[in-house]
């Protein structure tokens, strides 16, 4: 007997690295109806399948768009099998902002929450991790110990870099023809006003409120972080609170990226995307 696909609601967490996506997932996971975690492999599998179903496949003449839709949708049902008992699944990956319209076609009720933060502070946060782990070159930089703070920042910020790609992906979604399924969640809001931030997320996805404990956050991905040579990459503090500190970046380098927070200018918000 063929088992029917699980009837679940899917939502997506995306945005800039080091901007609160793991923290958001850890908070949401307190709700027993939700499943949320750090970035996973599903988005990469999704893009690989999308490519394999294109005209690069000599048999694509036999593949209709309806079949493509079912196959791509089936990836989610297969990956999040019966062992995932949550009613609501949040999948996290920076690629999802690039797939805003396609996700709307597959999951008409789904939402994308893009976590954002001043780019200078994102690069600062990554540089701080590198300096903290001086005996272990990071997988972020292909395990190569050479380079300077300037070359590392430039590599991160370029169009296909870890930060530059994510920043461009958020901009693409933000300025898309219909970004109604997109919300931008600022790191500063999530850490300083977590109750307001999470209430906005619940309202955006249409779920009933849940009493979260912002002083007892639990999340662990130490083994993953160790394997990519970046201990602390997904570390979440037990209590949600803002941490004031000075930047480790040289002042000229910090200033180079400090005006990239396009979401702060209402004049640039052409489609009234919700920015929390």
Q: In the prediction, which pLDDT does 5 show?
A: 43
Domains of the chain: residue spans and CATH: 9-275 (3.40.50)
Specify the pLDDT at position 6: 47
pLDDT of residue 116: 98
Find the range with the poorest average confidence among 29-38, 129-138, 218-227, 257-266: 218-227
Q: Shortest CA distance to 13 belongs to which of 71, 89, 75? A: 89
Can you tell me whether residue 203 is helix, strand or coil?
Answer: helix
State how far Cα 220 lies from the chain centre.
Answer: 17
Of 122, 163, 158, give the one whose Cα is nearest residue 20.
122
Burial letters 32-56, b for 16+ CB under 10 A, else e:
eebbbbbbeebbeebeeeeeebeee
**pLDDT band, residue 228 (cuts 50/70/90):** low
Identify the H or E element spanning 15.
strand 9-15
pLDDT score at 199: 97
The predicted-structure confidence for 33-54, as pLDDT tens digits, reads as follows 999 988 899 999 999 999 988 8
pTM: 0.91
pLDDT in tens, 166-189: 999 999 999 999 999 999 999 999
Long-range contacts of 189-197 (CB under 8 A, 24+ apart): 189/276, 190/20, 190/23, 190/24, 190/115, 190/240, 191/20, 191/23, 191/240, 191/241, 191/242, 191/243, 192/241, 192/242, 194/27, 194/240, 196/276, 197/276
Nearest-5° Cα angle at 94, 191 to 124: 50
Task: Decide: helix, strand or coil at residue 54.
Answer: coil
Average pLDDT of every residue of the chain: 90
Q: Which of 65-69, 131-135, 164-168 is most confident?
A: 164-168
Answer whether residue 14 shows pLDDT above 90.
yes
């Amino acid at each position: 007997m063929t088992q029917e696909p699980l009837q679940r609601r899917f939502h997506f967490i995306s945005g800039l690295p080091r901007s609160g996506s793991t923290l958001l997932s850890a908070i949401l996971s307190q709700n027993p109806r939700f499943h949320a975690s750090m970035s996973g492999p599903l988005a990469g599998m999704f893009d690989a399948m999308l490519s394999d179903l294109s005209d690069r496949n000599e048999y694509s003449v036999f593949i209709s768009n309806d079949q493509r839709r079912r196959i791509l949708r089936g990836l989610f049902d297969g990956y999040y099998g019966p062992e995932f008992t949550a009613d609501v699944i949040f999948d996290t990956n920076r690629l999802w902002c690039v797939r805003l319209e396609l996700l709307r076609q597959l999951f008409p009720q789904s939402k994308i929450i893009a976590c954002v933060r001043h780019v200078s502070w994102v690069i600062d946060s990554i540089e701080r991790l590198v300096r903290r782990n001086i005996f272990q070159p990071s997988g972020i930089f292909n395990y190569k110990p050479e380079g300077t703070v300037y070359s590392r920042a430039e590599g991160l910020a370029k169009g296909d870099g870890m930060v530059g790609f994510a920043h461009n992906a958020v901009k693409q979604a933000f300025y898309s023809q219909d970004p109604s399924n997109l919300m931008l969640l600022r790191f500063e809001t999530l850490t300083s006003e977590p109750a307001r931030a999470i209430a906005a997320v619940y309202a955006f996805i249409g779920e009933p409120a849940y009493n979260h404990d912002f002083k007892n956050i639990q999340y662990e991905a130490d083994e993953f972080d160790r394997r990519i040579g970046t201990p602390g990459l997904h570390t979440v503090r037990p209590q949600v609170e803002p941490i004031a500190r000075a930047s480790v970046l040289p002042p000229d380098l910090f200033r180079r990226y400090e005006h990239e927070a396009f979401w702060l200018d209402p004049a640039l918000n052409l489609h009234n995307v919700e920015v929390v």
